[in-house]
Amino acid sequence: MEKHRGFPGRLTGTDFQFTIRRASKKGATKIIRRERYADRRPPDRRADEAFLHALIDYFGENSFERGNLDTGRLSWLFEREVLPAEDDFDPWSYEARLRVDLGKAECTFPQIFDPGWSA
């Protein structure tokens, strides 16, 4: 499992996790598309914003390996702002490759593209 050194481990001042410490002995948890309903709590939405901002800062438009990125946090963005980067994508694999759809990210979270925005 690739560890993304320098990637934030969590949203500052909260328990919202962005990375995991070690691979599970049972294997990776499957990445799924979680529905984001309009009535989600503001802290949950801030965590999504901060995580997406961190992905864009760290990887930009490049594809990246899932590695130690938190499955739950990825699942809130999966198949919308974060897409599979390969045809044979395996949602159960730590080696699965993903990419950020910057166009979709900017439409959904325009505030994180503002130079003055901070998590």
A 10 A CB-CB count for 71 gives 18
pLDDT at 1: 83
pLDDT at 13: 84
Residue labelled with tokens 């800062």: 57
pLDDT at 114: 87
pLDDT at 28: 86
What's the full length of the chain, in residues? 119
Close Cβ partners of 64 (under 8 Å, ≥ 6 residues apart):
4, 55, 58, 85, 97, 98, 99
pLDDT at 84: 97
Q: Where are the domains of the chain?
A: 1-111
- Sequential pLDDT tens for the chain (119 residues): 888 889 999 888 888 999 988 877 777 899 999 999 988 899 999 999 999 999 999 999 999 999 899 999 999 999 999 999 999 999 999 999 999 999 999 999 999 998 877 76
pLDDT at 18: 92
